[in-house]
Structure 1
Amino acid sequence: MGVIDQATLDEASVNFRRTLARVMAQDIRDKQIYQELLWAMREIKEDFERLMRRFQSQVYCPNKCGRMEVLWIECIFCNLTHFACNRGVDCGERQLWVEEGQDLVLDCALPWHGASHGAKTYSFYRGLAAAGAGPEPPEPPPQSRGAAAEPPSRPPPAERLLRSGPEPVLVWKEAAAAAGGRYRCLMRGPAGQVGSQLSFNVTVLPRPRVPGEAPPPPRAPPGGLPPAAIAAIVVTTIATALVAAGIAWFCFRRAEPRGERDPPPIKES
């Protein structure tokens, strides 16, 4: 392949020096040293073949999808070269089911992300509800401190940016039924190029009721309060008005001048 990574090269160099040191430490001469060096070179060759098989299977473009950025060493000129393992950025879609009231966790990390060169940024998007298809999605969780700002023109018009930053996981606490829908996560490399795209199709299941458990309180209509709350407010307002009227009447009677009241009847002698 003409390339090797720094870790494999370091391990091969250590094994080479160890083999030569063992040969030099022996007190051999003439034909014996030739035979010993021949066996040593065979051992070094077999060891290097083992390292390169591991490099091909585990290090050389291990990503099954996405664009992986790597730094390798050219075997001929020993130059450090930048290489991209491009398998297509689309990494498929995941189906998620979460019970209402539980945490919704969107994990965008893939196994090869840690080996990809450079800092990575994860951007989470949510598909907006189509006109007439349902209520507008709720507000997203607060953006983490230090997260990079995302230009509003990047996501498609049918999506909304939820968060952008170095964390590959987005957690939605106590997800409600409105949290269901389609999500998308993009991993970008240091230069801003897309490394991988992962889609999520989230379904929020209703929480099963336990026998004997009280039914959940009625949901408030859009822009209003539940009927029970409205009735409680009306009763409280009427009671407060009656108490205020009684206090006002009592104070009025106490403040009335005594001369204006009817005189007591005169008894005849």
Structure 2
Amino acid sequence: MGPRLPLLVAALAGCLLSARGCVTCDSEVMEALNSLEKDYLPGHLAPEHHENVMKRVKEAVQNFKELPFDEDSYMGVVDEPTLKKASWNLLKDLKRITESDVKGELFVKELFWMLSLQKDTFASYAAHFQKEDFCPNKCGMMLQTLIWCSNCEKQVHACRKSTDCGERQVKVHRKEDMILDCELNWHRASEGLTDYSFYRVWGKNDETLVSKGKEPTLTKTMVGPEDQGTYRCELGTVQSDPATIIYFHVTVLPQRVEEEIPSPDIPNQGEVTLGHPQSNTSLQYPLSQSPNPVKMLRGRLLGLLIWGCVVLIAGAATVIFCSRSGKMLDSIKSWFDTGTEAAQHPEVPEGKS
């Protein structure tokens, strides 16, 4: 390895000074680094370089938490799923290096090259969190547990937006089921939520609690005109402020009319059917169950095939029967002719004239 190794370590570690992330907040990462120092280095690197290499490695990893912190943009924080995903990638690559049993300068190059790539990977995860996962609620109040990379401290952050999440128009026919759904796509990711409460709104300051619980829907069966009106849904939080408020304006439409077509085999009340009913395709098949032309054609072809086979078999049997009958007649005729000839020319016993 020679005197080049300390210079190599310093040069490679210098590439990581601008790294952004806070993987050192994960206890599994710190345990893996300790195992690297105590278990792997003694058999894969000269003892005089152990201290210098581990010092550079720890500095490089510590730089993962030197994120610019802005109170307004929250650039110095991540959520726990993002941290876990970045830590898992780092641990996976570190395990790959140790299992490859690489030694010396090649080990140092592999190690710091891996840390450089992990820096970029974590930067992409953090950017995605800031753009997509940080306060994804478009309305209402969402509670998120965030990790401050400067001190690995966890705090619950409230993403406060307008609690009024709009109004929805619901139309339902009489004697059918009414379903009001209050769940939004970010509710399952939010923390500190309590119960969904549904109210029947009668006036500006007058409303009645209809249901309360963990289910985000209100279902009313066999609705009638009395169920028409305005409903309000509210999702509570541990901070006593509502997370979501949604209004539903329900309109009850007339009952659906389903026309019943009488069966052709059952006469109408007060009528007597005489003789055989006339064949009527429109009566045999209701409109909703009209025959399929393809199936009808297929059935007819199958019937013709069956009848053709029957005729062919009958013809063959007739030919065989006629042939055997002709031979039998010839035998009877021959026997009859033989008997007649014997009667006409009887045999005379010897010695008699």
Tell me the TM-score normalised to structure 2 length. 0.49
Deviation at 1:26, TM superposition (A): 3.8
C-alpha distance after superposition, 1:45-81 (max 9, x if no partner) = 2221232233234421111111001111111111111
Residue aligned with 2:158, SS: strand
CA distance in 2: counterparts of 1:74 and 1:176, whole angstroms: 54
Establish whether residue 197 from structure 1 lines up as the match of residue 241 from structure 2: no
Does the Cα contact within 8 Å between 2:144 and 2:157 map onto a contact in 1? yes
C-alpha distance after superposition, 1:213-232 (max 9, x if no partner) = 9xxxxxxxxxxxxxxxxxxx
C-alpha distance after superposition, 1:148-194 (max 9, x if no partner) = xxxxxxxx632222122222111011111121111111111123211
Q: Structure 2 matches for 1:1-269, cutoff 5 A?
A: 1-24=75-98, 25-30=100-105, 32-128=106-202, 157-211=205-259
Deviation at 1:122, TM superposition (A): 1.1
CA distance in 1: counterparts of 2:256 and 2:110, whole angstroms: 75
| Count of matched residue positions in the alignment of Structure 1 and Structure 2 | 186
Q: Which letter maps to 2:229?
A: G
C-alpha distance after superposition, 1:86-113 (max 9, x if no partner) = 1110100111111111111111111111
CA distance in 2: counterparts of 1:46 and 1:8, whole angstroms: 14
Residue aligned with 1:167, SS: coil
CA distance in 2: counterparts of 1:119 and 1:159, whole angstroms: 23
Structure having the larger proportion of residues in helix: 2
C-alpha distance after superposition, 1:99-142 (max 9, x if no partner) = 111111111111111111124211111121x6xxxxxxxxxxxx
Does the Cα contact within 8 Å between 2:174 and 2:256 map onto a contact in 1? no
Deviation at 1:9, TM superposition (A): 1.1
CA distance in 1: counterparts of 2:163 and 2:235, whole angstroms: 9
C-alpha distance after superposition, 1:202-256 (max 9, x if no partner) = 111101333469xxxxxxxxxxxxxxxxxxxxxxxxxxxxxxxxxxxxxxxxxxx
CA distance in 2: counterparts of 1:182 and 1:201, whole angstroms: 5
Q: Which letter maps to 1:209?
A: V
Cα gap change, 1:212 to 1:28, in 2 (>3 Å): closer
CA distance in 1: counterparts of 2:260 and 2:77, whole angstroms: 68
Structure number with bigger Rg: 2
Q: Which letter maps to 2:242?
A: V
Does the Cα contact within 8 Å between 2:200 and 2:208 map onto a contact in 1? yes
The answer to which structure, 1 or 2, has the higher relative contact order (CA under 8 A, 6+ apart) is: 1
CA distance in 1: counterparts of 2:206 and 2:255, whole angstroms: 29
Partner of 1:267: none
Cα gap change, 1:123 to 1:34, in 2 (>3 Å): same
Q: Which letter maps to 2:174?
A: E
Partner of 2:54: none
CA-based RMSD of the aligned residues comes to: 2.0
CA distance in 2: counterparts of 1:157 and 1:62, whole angstroms: 32
Residue aligned with 1:8, SS: helix
Cα gap change, 1:34 to 1:212, in 2 (>3 Å): closer
Point out the more displaced range, 158-167 or 75-84.
158-167
CA distance in 1: counterparts of 2:185 and 2:194, whole angstroms: 14
Deviation at 1:36, TM superposition (A): 2.1
Tell me the TM-score normalised to structure 1 length. 0.64
